[in-house]
């Protein structure tokens, strides 16, 4: 199968060589987190037994003469450093634009890792950058999918949601998405609020209230009506009990049944009568 990278760049645009590890620098705008410790140890074990089977991808560093910028293979390079391996096989790409370089970084990472392996905010950053690079802003066709060898299989509405999360939410709200305190859809609703509005919501949530998608939608409405305050948001969470209006018995009814009884005695008689009435009613049902 022809890889997307092969279709972007001909074999003449790259060359295979061995590069000293100490000449490799991380991609400047690298948006992918490194492997966790268990995955790194597994990679190190593989390299110890078989070496670096797949060459990393690099370009000449645009700012540091004599250095190379890693496009794909950050974890392999880190593993080699820990194993005191001095050189590593690499494919050198020549004459790359910044956008082409970023696309290689994103697509090669997603060839090896699943999007769901990342936190929500990380996913949002990845998808937003990937979408920008592909210049595909037509979000109306919700059923059309982004499906390619990169591992992205997203409907347009999902791409739109991730864009809003990355571009419109403050970091503190993104953190709540990452630890699953709020859902993606609730986060999207909050993305319509300005920074001050989001900070007010955050102060409420920090008091222990749980935000559902429906409540997030109501908060969005408050913002659109320019009525967003902490008190207004709290009113959405606190269920106030309706006070029952006092029920008065007509004096002629009381006079018909009670002549000498005190108020306390009347109340006791009424309670006993009501108990018998409702018990009898339940028995007949």
Give residues with Cβ within 8 angstroms of 67, minimum separation 6: 23, 24, 25, 60, 61
The more confident residue out of 275 and 220 is 220
Q: What is the pLDDT of residues 161-172, one digit of tens each?
A: 999 999 999 999
Number of H helices, E strands in the chain: 13, 7
pLDDT at 248: 81
How far apart are alpha carbons 127 and 166 in whole angstroms? 9
For residues 131 and 58, is the Cβ–Cβ distance under 8 A? no
Asked whether the predicted pLDDT for residue 285 surpasses 80, the reply is no
pLDDT at 23: 94
Q: What is the pLDDT of residues 61-75, one digit of tens each?
A: 888 899 999 999 999
The boundaries of every CATH 3.90.1530.10 domain in the chain are: 4-113
Q: What is the pLDDT of residues 104-154, one digit of tens each?
A: 888 888 888 788 888 999 999 999 988 888 764 443 444 344 544 445 678
> Buried b / exposed e across 187-208, counting CB within 10 Å, b at 16+?
bbbbbbbeeebbebbeebbeee
pLDDT at 2: 36
For residues 210 and 180, is the Cβ–Cβ distance under 8 A? no
pLDDT at 58: 93
pLDDT at 282: 45
Q: What is the pLDDT of residues 227-271, one digit of tens each?
A: 999 999 999 888 654 455 677 888 888 888 888 888 888 888 888
Q: What's the CATH code, domain 4-113?
A: 3.90.1530.10
Mean pLDDT of the chain: 83
Q: What is the pLDDT of residues 201-223, one digit of tens each?
A: 999 999 989 999 999 999 999 99
Give residues with Cβ within 8 angstroms of 197, minimum separation 6: 223, 228
pLDDT at 176: 95
Cα-Cα-Cα-Cα torsion 122, 98, 191, 207, nearest 10 degrees, comes to 40
């Amino acid at each position: 199968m022809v890889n997307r990278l092969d279709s972007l760049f001909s074999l003449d645009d790259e060359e295979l060589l061995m590069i000293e590890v100490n000449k490799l620098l991380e991609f400047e705008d690298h948006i992918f987190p490194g492997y966790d410790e268990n995955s790194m140890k597994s990679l190190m074990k593989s390299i110890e037994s078989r070496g670096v089977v797949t060459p990393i991808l690099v370009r000449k560093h645009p700012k540091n003469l004599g250095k190379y910028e890693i496009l794909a293979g950050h974890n392999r390079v880190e593993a080699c450093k820990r194993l005191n391996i001095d050189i590593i096989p690499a494919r050198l790409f020549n004459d790359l634009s910044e956008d082409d370089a970023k696309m290689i970084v994103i697509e090669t990472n997603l060839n090896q890792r699943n999007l769901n392996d990342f936190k929500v905010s990380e996913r949002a950053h990845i998808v937003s950058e990937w979408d920008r690079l592909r210049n595909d802003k037509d979000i109306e066709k919700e059923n059309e999918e982004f499906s390619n060898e990169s591992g992205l299989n997203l409907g347009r509405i999902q791409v739109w949601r991730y864009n809003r999360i990355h571009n419109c939410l403050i970091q503190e709200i993104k953190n709540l998405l990452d630890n699953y305190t709020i859902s993606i859809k609730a986060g999207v609703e909050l993305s319509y609020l300005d920074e001050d509005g989001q900070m007010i919501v955050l102060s409420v949530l920090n008091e222990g209230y749980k935000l559902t998608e429906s409540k997030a939608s109501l908060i969005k409405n408050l913002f659109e009506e320019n009525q967003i305050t902490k008190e207004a948001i709290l009113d959405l969470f606190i269920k106030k009990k309706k006070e029952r209006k006092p029920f008065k018995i007509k004096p002629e009814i009381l006079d018909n049944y009670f002549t000498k009884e005190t108020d306390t005695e009347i109340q006791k008689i009424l309670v006993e009568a009501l108990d018998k009435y409702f018990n009898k009613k339940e028995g007949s049902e």
